[in-house]
Amino acid sequence: MIKLIATDIDGTILIPEQPFTQRVKDCIKELQDKGILVVLVTGRMNKAARLVAKELGLKTPIVSYQGGLVKNNEQVLYERYLSEEQSEKIIAWAKSENIHINLYNDDTLYSESDNYEIQRYSKRQNIDYVVKDFSKIKKNSVNKILAIDYKNPNKIDKLEKELPQIFPELYIVKSTPNFLEFSNPEASKYCAVKFLQKYWNLNDNEILTIGDQNNDIELLKAGGIKIAMGNATEELKSVSDYITDTVNNDGFVKAIEKFVLI
């Protein structure tokens, strides 16, 4: 019997830049009414993920920053940062590549310039940001760093393959065709879900995981039932137990109806 559903947000339960469908809302409410834990597991910052949880009426802990932070309201349950040295190395690399990066420090979003990338990103996430020279920020709580290239996604593909050789000590993953994320190696969705599994004393076969992008490979690996969305990457589909319909066709709901709300 499934007791925990660990789900990605964007591209899984939420169509990009659209509101939640009524079927998704009703499905999540039914799961909660039955006492099944539904946990958001996302690359979004905690501040942004909390808005989603509130809209869906979720009271469970939130996994944000790809697994770098597990927070239950104001209580931090699990947290992993980038070190200041690691952050500085990534910043120097980004400047040499002339690629935009978001810096997340203590759940605040920073950008060095007020450009198209940060404006588009913050609008879609419905969050504020601070424009500040990164050298003037005390980097003692860097949750993650996000590289963005909206114009040339092929560059993100290329960097995803190359960068683990430059930064072998980091967890680097593509979360959308335009986003490449840098985190502490223990800040993965796998680590966070396994923490919650122990926290709630659950067995593997009591956990269902579902997602759509490469950053969800670690998420799926943490589940007893591993579901890939119909719109998922081929890499994610290859590690799944089942491929459901697309996010546009309420694939999340169809998977839950098949495996949980039978």
* pLDDT tens, residue by residue, 141-170: 999 999 999 988 899 999 999 999 999 999
pLDDT of residue 126: 87
Which H, E and C letters describe the chain, residue by residue? CCCEEEECCECCCECCCCCCCHHHHHHHHHHHHCCCEEEEECCCCHHHHHHHHHHHCCCCCEEEHHHCEEEECCEEEEECCECHHHHHHHHHHHHHHCCEEEEEECCEEEECCCCHHHHHHHHHHCCCCEECCHHHCCCCCEEEEEEECCCCHHHHHHHHHHHHHHCCCCEEEEEECCEEEEECCCCCHHHHHHHHHHHHCCCHHHEEEEECCHHHHHHHHCCCEEEECCCCCHHHHCCCCEECCCHHHCHHHHHHHHHCCC
C-alpha 213/C-alpha 256 separation (Å) is: 19
* 17 pLDDT above the threshold of 90: no
The set of residues, in sequence order, having a beta carbon less than 8 Å from that of 39 and lying 6+ positions away, is 4, 5, 6, 7, 58, 60, 61, 62, 63, 193, 196
Question: What pLDDT, on a 0 to 100 scale, did the predictor assign at position 125?
Answer: 87
pLDDT in the model for residue 238: 98
* pLDDT at residue 110, as a whole number: 97
pLDDT of 207 strictly over 90: yes
- Condensed to tens digits (0 to 9), the pLDDT of residues 96-145 reads 999 999 999 999 999 999 999 999 999 988 899 999 999 999 999 999 99
Residue pointed to by tokens 């502490």: 184
pLDDT at 44: 95
Report the CATH number of the 84-183 domain: 3.30.1240.10
On whether the CB atoms of residues 197 and 207 are closer than 8 A, the answer is: yes
pLDDT for residue 253 is more than 90 = yes
Q: Give the number of C-alpha atoms closer than 13 A to the C-alpha of residue 74, restricted to the C-beta side.
A: 0
CATH superfamily, domain 4-79+187-259, is HAD superfamily/HAD-like (3.40.50.1000)
Residue 93: predicted pLDDT: 96
pLDDT of residue 16: 87
Q: Which residues contact 145 (CB under 8 A, 6 or more apart)?
A: 82, 87, 90, 91, 94, 101, 102, 103, 104, 181, 182
Domain residue extents for the chain: 4-79+187-259, 84-183
Residue-wise pLDDT for 40-78, tens only, equals 999 999 999 999 999 999 999 999 999 999 999 999 999
List, for residues 228-239, the tens digit of each pLDDT value. 999 999 999 999
- The pLDDT of residue 81 is 94
Percent of the chain with pLDDT over 90: 95
Residue with tokens 């396994």: 194
pLDDT, residue 65, reads 96
Supply the pTM of this predicted model. Answer: 0.92
What is the band of 242 on the pLDDT scale with cuts at 50, 70, 90?
A: very high
Structure confidence at residue 153 (pLDDT): 83
- The token pair at 88 is 């500085």
